Structure 1
Amino acid sequence: MVLAELGGSITRALQHMSNATIIDEKVLNDCLNEISRALLQSDVQFKMVRDMQTNIKRIVNLEDLAAGHNKRRIIQQAIFNELCKMLDPGKPSYAPKKGKPSIVMFVGLQGSGKTTTCTKYAYYHQKKGWKPALVCADTFRAGAFDQLKQNATKAKIPFYGSYMESDPVKIAAEGVERFKKEKCDLIIVDTSGRHKQEAALFEEMRQVSEAAKPDLVIFVMDSSIGQAAFDQAQAFKQSVSVGAVIVTKMDGHAKGGGALSAVAATKSPIIFIGTGEHMDEFEIFDVKPFVSRLLGMGDLSGFMDKIQEVVPHDQQPELLQRLSEGTFTLRLMYEQFQNILKMGPIGQVFSMLPGFSSEVMPKGHEKESQAKIKRFMTMMDSMTNEELDSTNPKLMNESRLMRIARGSGRQYKDVVDMMEEYKRLAKIWGKMKGLKIPKKGEMSALSRNMNAQHMSKVLPPQMLKQIGGMGGLQSLMKQMGSKDMMNGMGGMGGLFGGEK
């Protein structure tokens, strides 16, 4: 994952500071220098790194701190805030309104994934109830219209373009006008990729903008652009009024620090990130959860949103009831494994959990984790209803385990491993007993019934320690601006590299 290396380096720097016996100026400077090196190596602009270091030193004045202050937490909070400032220009982008025609124009370098991103953006809003349409004003790249046509047809989104007309300005004006008449409320204009050295193409982009009269111009940036990000983003901003940034190819292994530079250059917020080639691998970008994941502190609200996406609405009340009872069966484990597999790449999902910095799950580990889940599910397919629904571990004697191994084509040891995982999860699930159930039984209401004390019992000790104990957990919940917590599935840390 892009920025995984950066996140790991920052986490290590914070860990070195936490391990220090005494927090003094030298420890603070060593920590900041280590973080600064990591940011520079990740292609973040030098001035941004220098400003960040200066700001933190100004905020964290160790000599003025009275005795009893938690210096580690104050430093960590300052680093968190400064990284957030890097990614947050302090003003929101234009937000399209459903039912009212909005025109959004996409610009960016050649090869940044602009055309694919246009369709993803349209598809995302279509699922939310908008009526989007796509206009291909890219007449420079051969096959651009074919690509947009293919993507739009697959997503069942209306599109406009021409094989005959070579003037992108005319196409943009005609397409926008047509879709306004068809009462589309999100008209997306795709433009040719261009480079800041190409003056004629930049003039053409300005003319397309004048013809389309966009409410929002989005700069699409490939996460691997590197050191050139600031200058390129600034050039686009000077030609058209860029109001938002989308970063693509965040599923790769590029350094990715250029994304931070692009925000500084355009003074515009990142609104989405592309995390893969598929249409639904497209996420809303939220600064605080992103930085929290970068620092290995998790994104509990994002994890909760994922849970709500994949747990069928009609199953949510029953799940909460089971949480309240603290009863965990093998069938329930099976169901939760099914939900996890629906949540997308396991690394992305579990990077939302505190303590799961990207380096906890080394390259290749995701496939192993997914394979382990599927093996467990195959073994459970060979169980009887009595075995799946029982809460009595003594029921699963040696003869039953042997039968399950034979029925699933697995080794006896594999079935024993699965039962050990079940016992561990059952113990964590049991700690949720007594959780007050919301009236409507909705998953989102769970957050209002959990506090840091309850959450601390659920999190594995390794995670709780990395967050900074109870104080750190309370601080994290406050930082995130909500108390959205996970629903007991966070205890699956041991299965995916956490502490057992």
Structure 2
Amino acid sequence: MVLAQLGGSISRALQQMSNATVIDEKVLNECLNEITRALLQSDVQFKLVRDMQTNIKKIVNLDDLAAGHNKRKIIQQAVFNELCKMLDPGKPSFTPKKGKPSVVMFVGLQGSGKTTTCTKYAYYHQKKGWKPALVCADTFRAGAFDQLKQNATKAKIPFYGSYMESDPVKIAEEGVERFKKENCDLIIVDTSGRHKQEAALFEEMRQVSEATKPDLVIFVMDSSIGQAAFDQAQAFKQSVAVGAVIVTKMDGHAKGGGALSAVAATKSPVIFIGTGEHMDEFEVFDVKPFVSRLLGMGDWSGFMDKIHEVVPMDQQPELLQKLSEGNFTLRIMYEQFQKLLKMGPISQVFSMLPGFRDELMPKGREKESQAKLKRYMTMMDSMTDEELDSSNPKLMNESRMMRIARGSGRRVQEVMEMMEEYKRLAKVWSKMKGLKIPKKGEMSALSRNMNAQHMSKVLPPQILKQIGGMGGLQSLMKQMGSNKDMMGMFGGGDK
């Protein structure tokens, strides 16, 4: 069961409970049993699941609830809080500081994606202004240094390793020393892994740790590790001072529940998740938005962060101006597709929008949808300025479409399909007309100015219904402008 399926199972259990005429102890137990089954099937450790069920029953005492309280919301809130508690050890991990040398050591079993994750971690920080470097202290796996060297070269990150030296401790020590002299402020040490837990592996990790004195030890865990996650994470924690967890391969068919177990075993936070093979398929892990997305409730704050990343500040007022005018051209559609593709793996972007993923990104067809956007952009590359800047679809007659098809190497039918998509989006865009434009320097006001009334006209009816009608939408609009509390996703705060 992949995490999306886990979230779907939990959401269905909550929905069935919501549909019940009366929420009594029997209905609550049925709901909790369904959630328990989903978590166990997703490889969450039995003790964690049992504790969660017990805690929810303690919190949700149906007999003691005062009249007028919304029982469904209280149960939803309890489920949300318990899932967050599973994934949040209550203490942050060490955070490197720019300009000050920090050593970060990566540990984990062979095959967990440790070497690739080291490069992703370095690349992420390099984009944020750090000066990272990579040290390959894995002398056990043939080809480990070649892999790190290839990854580092591609990402333009300095690296150190040796084909001749067989002592990983010596390599680690020399590499760290060299990069400290070169004023690198994030020195990442990749260590050996094994196919299974062995005394030799843990002894080597201890020696490398003693020699390099890392500021942070990161345990890298494959999300498909299953029920063994708790024991393995605990074994690593007992050997070295694991301070953070990174979960890899979250894009595949792994059950993923082991991530919850690893946090419990190491009492360390998950700081990143790997969602694909590419360098940018690497997400900062934030508990509340993650659980909210897991339960299909979206992550507006994450989506807004993505927009701020790809739309330069000086272009944001221009984008909002176009929104408010409701004048949608093919050029605007091209620009928005371009920005959407820049946001990263498109399925991750849509998963941040409540209810949108199934609507716009059918499960298992993410690559197909991404390829379609690129095809549309290729066709638009064959258009004239007049065609791109016109908001009159009647301008696109048959002879123009034939010329565009020839110029882009596509069929006329595909150009017609693109024009249908343009008309559909133009209809949605026109409903944003009259949107109040925030003043310069008030881009965060986007969420405040885009009121629920505007959004209710834009959203398809089935999506509006899925997020709880106008009441649910108003909660989501508040969330767009605030990172304080994801409970707005459940309509929390209603007394």
TM-score, normalised via structure 2 length: 0.89
The 8 Å contact of residues 137 and 161 in structure 1, kept in 2 or not, is answered as yes
Distance in structure 2 (CA, Å) of the matches to 1:495 and 1:411: 44
1:157-189 deviation per Cα after TM superposition (whole angstroms, max 9, x unaligned): 222222222222222222222221221111111
Note if contact 1:105-1:191 (Cα within 8 Å) is conserved in structure 2. yes
Partner Cα distance (2:59, 2:485) in 1: 29
**Deviation digits for residues 465-500 of structure 1, max 9, x if unmatched?**
2222233334445667719999xxxxxxx9999999
How far apart are residue 102 of structure 1 and its match? 0.7
The reply on whether 1:9 has 2:3 as its aligned counterpart is no
Structure 1: how far apart are the matches of 2:481 and 2:448?
Answer: 12
Aligned partner of residue 435 in structure 2, secondary structure: coil
Structure 1 vs Structure 2: percent identity of aligned residues?
90
Task: Provide the C-alpha distance between the structure 2 equivalents of 1:389 and 1:83, rounded to a whole number of angstroms.
Answer: 49
C-alpha distance 318-484 of structure 1, shift in aligned 2 (>3 A): farther
- After TM superposition, the structure 1 stretch with the greater mean CA deviation from structure 2, 437-446 or 13-22, is 437-446
CA distance in 1, matches of 2:394, 2:126: 51
SS of structure 2 residue aligned to 1:244? strand
- Range that drifts further, 467-476 or 99-108: 467-476
Kept in 1: contact 2:271–2:284 (CA 8 A):
yes
What are the ranges of 5 or more consecutive residues in structure 2 without an aligned counterpart?
A: none
Q: Which moved more, 1:403-412 or 1:224-233?
A: 403-412
Offset at residue 388 of structure 1 (A)? 3.2
Would the alpha carbon gap of residues 176 and 465 (structure 1) be closer, same or farther in structure 2, given more than 3 Å must change? same
Shift in Å at residue 23 of structure 1? 2.8
What is the rounded CA distance, in whole Å, between the counterparts of 1:171 and 1:410 in structure 2? 54
Q: Deviation string for 1:360-392 (max 9, x for gaps)? A: 855442233234434444554555544433334
Instruction: Note the C-alpha offset of 1:424.
Output: 3.2
Please give the TM-score of this superposition, normalised by the length of structure 1.
0.88
Deviation at 1:457, TM superposition (A): 3.7
- Which is worse superposed, 434-443 or 7-16? 434-443
Identify the range of structure 1 (247-256 vs 17-26) with the bigger mean alpha-carbon deviation. 17-26
With over 3 angstroms needed to count, the CA separation of the structure-2 counterparts of 1:211 and 1:339, relative to structure 1, is: same
Contact persistence 1:3–1:42 (CA under 8 A): yes
CA distances 1:110-155 after superposition (whole Å, capped 9, x unpaired)? 1111111111111111111111111111121122222222222222
Task: Check the 8 A contact 1:130/1:186 in 2, yes or no.
Answer: yes
**For 2:196 and 2:439, how far apart are their aligned partners in 1?**
57
Gap change, CA 1:63 and 1:495, over 3 Å in 2: closer
Alpha-carbon distance change, 380 to 122 in structure 1, aligned in 2, over 3 angstroms = closer
Shift of residue 417, structure 1, vs aligned partner: 4.5
Q: Is the 8 A contact 1:293 1:357 kept in 2?
A: no
Alpha-carbon separation, structure 2, partners of 1:60 and 1:398: 64
The question of whether the paired residues in 2 share the 8 Å contact of 1:133 and 1:186 is answered with yes
Return the alpha-carbon distance in structure 1 between the equivalents of residues 382 and 107 of structure 2.
54
My pick for the range that moved more, 148-157 or 247-256, is 148-157
- Tell me how far apart the structure 2 counterparts of residues 197 and 363 of structure 1 sit (CA, whole Å): 36
Question: 2:208, 2:226 → 1: CA distance?
Answer: 28
Q: 1:436 aligns to what?
A: 436
Measured after TM superposition, the shift of residue 318 of structure 1 is 1.3
Moved more, 377-386 or 100-109: 377-386
Instruction: Give distance in 2, aligned partners of 1:91 and 1:222.
Output: 23
The alpha-carbon distance between structure 1 residues 255 and 140, as it changes in their structure 2 partners (threshold 3 A), is same
Q: d(CA) in 2 for partners of 1:358 and 1:209?
A: 46
The separation in 1 between residues aligned to 2:332 and 2:174, in whole angstroms, is 55
Distance 1:437 1:28 in 2: 46
Gaps of at least 5 residues in structure 1 are 487-493
> Offset of 1:401 from its aligned partner?
6.4
Question: CA RMSD, aligned part only?
Answer: 4.5
Larger deviation, residues 26-35 vs 239-248: 26-35
Matched, 1:484 2:485: yes
The number of residues matched between the two structures is 493
Q: 2:486 is paired with a residue of what secondary structure? A: coil
SS in 1 for 2:246: strand
Deviation at 1:192, TM superposition (A): 0.7
Task: Write the deviation string for residues 271-310 of structure 1: whole angstroms up to 9, x where unpaired.
Answer: 0111111222211111111111111111112222222333
SS of 1:63's equivalent in the other structure is coil
CA shift at 1:266, angstroms? Answer: 0.5
Q: Do the aligned residues in 1 keep the contact of 2:117 with 2:274 (CA within 8 Å)?
A: yes
What SS class does the counterpart of residue 457 from structure 1 fall into?
helix
Q: Which residue pairs with 1:344 in the alignment?
A: 344
